[in-house]
Amino acid sequence: MSTLIPISGQTRIVGIFGDPIAHTRSPAMQNAAFRACKLPYVYVPFLVHPLDLAKAVQAIRAYNLVGVNVTVPHKERIVRHLDTLSEEAELCGAVNTVVNRDGGLFGDNTDGRGFLASLQHRGFSPHQGDIVLIGAGGSTRAVLVSLIRGGSPRITIVNRTLAKAQALVRTYRTLGQTRLEAAALDRLQDPAFFQNAALVVNCTSVGLHGEPFLPVAFAATSPRCLFYDLLYRPDLTTFLRQAHSLRRSTMDGRQMLLHQGALAFSLWTGQAAPLQVMSRALARALRPT
């Protein structure tokens, strides 16, 4: 199969806004899906500096783009420039997918549902036990909302700045029946803290460049505990490497990337995403060079 997408007067453009953007693997995944479904779409990356975000959003209308994905640092900032939001985007206060509906821009957030879908693919249910989220930024919000909606019994948010974790607890404590708690970073070194943990998620950027992760009492977790890093690298992150060395199950962010991308594909096209095609394309794009 040709890897090139024919460009013609019928071609529609989808893209991704970010800064930086050169590292994104989404074009490989989405363009493979468009080819497989024989859609006249092409997905391209756009380097959008923060000061240019408002102009970039206007360009979606001006150039009649089908829509865009949104990545750092724009997920929260883009909200005020859109016409309507999904309930999930409103809850998260962030958008990762924009759909152009005849000039009206609709914002959704597929990150949390993509995260849940990746867990379901692994055979993990949020009902299985206590969950620990490390970090209190935008990624944590999307994961937290999805886990609460998924019926998690108890979630503890651990963050360097305890006040930020406490703010998330206050914001989302009435969203569902989940018991929410906040904890300071030093709790990660307490073996008793992980006694009932079924899932531990790194929602921070620590380890992206191979730097050491924070001290964590990995050995105190149950052998059935799953460690999930929202980051992804060609090799294991330092967070997952330590868990793997103790024979704990691990996942990185590539499955979340796949499933959130599949949801975005369906929002733009109205069609079911060719998940296996996208998965293979993503695996090729993530191979070490």
**Which residue blocks in the chain are alpha helix, DSSP H?**
26-36, 53-62, 87-92, 111-122, 138-149, 162-172, 238-245, 254-269, 275-285
Burial (CB count <10 Å: 0-12, 13-18, 19+), residue 270: exposed
Burial (CB count <10 Å: 0-12, 13-18, 19+), residue 211: exposed
Per-residue pLDDT, averaged over 154-158, amounts to 98
- Position 289 confidence tier, pLDDT thresholds 50, 70, 90: low
| Tens-place pLDDT, residues 56-85 | 999 999 999 999 999 989 999 999 999 999
Per-residue pLDDT, averaged over 121-148, amounts to 93
49 in Cβ contact with 102 (< 8 Å): no
Kindly tell me if the per-residue pLDDT of 5 is higher than 90.
no
| Tens-place pLDDT, residues 225-274 | 999 999 988 789 999 999 999 999 999 999 999 999 999 999 999 999 99
Write out the two tokens for 269.
Answer: 């096209």
Q: What is the pLDDT of residue 8?
A: 84
* Sheet containing strand 12-18, strands side by side: 41-47, 12-18, 67-70, 97-101, 104-108, 84-85
- Position 4 confidence tier, pLDDT thresholds 50, 70, 90: low
| Tens-place pLDDT, residues 183-192 | 999 999 999 9
Active site residues: 75
